[in-house]
């Protein structure tokens, strides 16, 4: 329920005033929801995306800053990154059997979803260490814990992100920096909408059948996850009460990984 200010009780519970956040892939989907949620908690948000118009639109909405970067091609090592909160969210998908999977697409997915989070975290950690506080939030997936056919690059990248997150947690914890993964099942985003079409093509079935027979087969809760639900968990991880949550993989998969 909203209060008199129009702000939900959950938003008020996480005080991020004075904190700076950077969210990758924040022009749409989970990234946009996270950017909005952190801004609602008081953080100053930098919206990083390769979509210049989309990044500017979200940044303007939040009185934040747009940073137009293609994570697959930019020189991330020279990127000046001074932030308290880093949300590694940007991602893409390609669906194909391994024998038909283009090697260049495999490399692209790993570059965006594994190498870029490493490089961005590497740039952000010195400032976090100096201030004695930081949050690295990696938007992983149930596919960081479980595999699915035809998604070799995505599954490999997310499994790698899980491992990277744990190393960051071990190194960062003594400096007041936590690192965690959020692992949702299918989220209602443009990326998933594209996956639905790809899976329909690969399996030769309708898009409705893809949702019912593939995407919602494993979760016992038969619906897609909403981006705002993921954003709420991201905000929680930035809160004071989550300061001992470190090196975790927090599932939002409707019990998919309980199997």
Q: Which residues are catalytic?
A: 154
Look up residue 47 and give its DSSP letter. Answer: E
* Rg value, the chain, Cα: 18
Residues 89, 112: Cα–Cα separation, whole Å: 10
The helix-helix angle for 152-172 and 116-131 (nearest 10°) equals 20
**3-state SS string for 180-246:** EEEEECCECCHHHHHHHHHHHHHHCCCHHHHHHHHHCCCCCCCCCECHHHHHHHHHHHCCHHHCCCC
Residues 153, 54: Cα–Cα separation, whole Å: 26
Residues 60, 218: Cα–Cα separation, whole Å: 39
Residues 122, 91: Cα–Cα separation, whole Å: 19
Torsion (CA) 227, 55, 69, 34 in degrees, nearest 10: -30
Q: Report the first-to-last Cα separation within the chain, whole angstroms.
A: 34
């Amino acid at each position: 329920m909203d209060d008199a200010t129009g702000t939900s009780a959950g938003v008020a519970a996480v005080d991020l005033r004075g904190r700076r956040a950077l969210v990758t892939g924040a022009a749409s989907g989970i990234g946009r929801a996270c950017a909005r949620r952190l801004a609602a908690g008081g953080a100053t948000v930098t919206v990083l995306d390769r979509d210049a118009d989309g990044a500017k639109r979200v940044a303007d909405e939040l009185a934040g800053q747009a940073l137009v970067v293609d994570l697959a091609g930019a020189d991330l090592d020279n990127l000046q990154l001074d932030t308290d909160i880093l949300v590694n969210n940007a991602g893409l998908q390609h669906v194909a059997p391994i024998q038909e999977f283009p090697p260049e697409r495999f490399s692209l997915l790993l570059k965006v979803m594994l190498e870029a989070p490493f490089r961005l975290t590497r740039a952000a950690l010195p400032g976090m260490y100096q201030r004695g506080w930081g949050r690295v939030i990696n938007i992983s997936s149930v596919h960081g814990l479980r595999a699915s056919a035809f998604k070799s690059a995505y599954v490999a990248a997310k499994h790698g992100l899980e491992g990277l997150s744990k190393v960051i947690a071990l190194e960062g914890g003594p400096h007041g920096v936590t690192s965690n993964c959020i692992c949702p099942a299918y989220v209602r985003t443009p990326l998933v909408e594209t996956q639905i079409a790809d899976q329909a093509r690969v399996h030769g079935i309708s898009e409705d059948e893809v949702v019912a027979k593939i995407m919602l087969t494993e979760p016992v809760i038969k619906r897609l996850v909403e981006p705002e639900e993921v954003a709420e968990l991201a905000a929680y991880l930035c809160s004071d009460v989550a300061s001992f949550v470190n090196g975790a993989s927090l599932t939002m998969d409707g019990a998919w990984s309980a199997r």
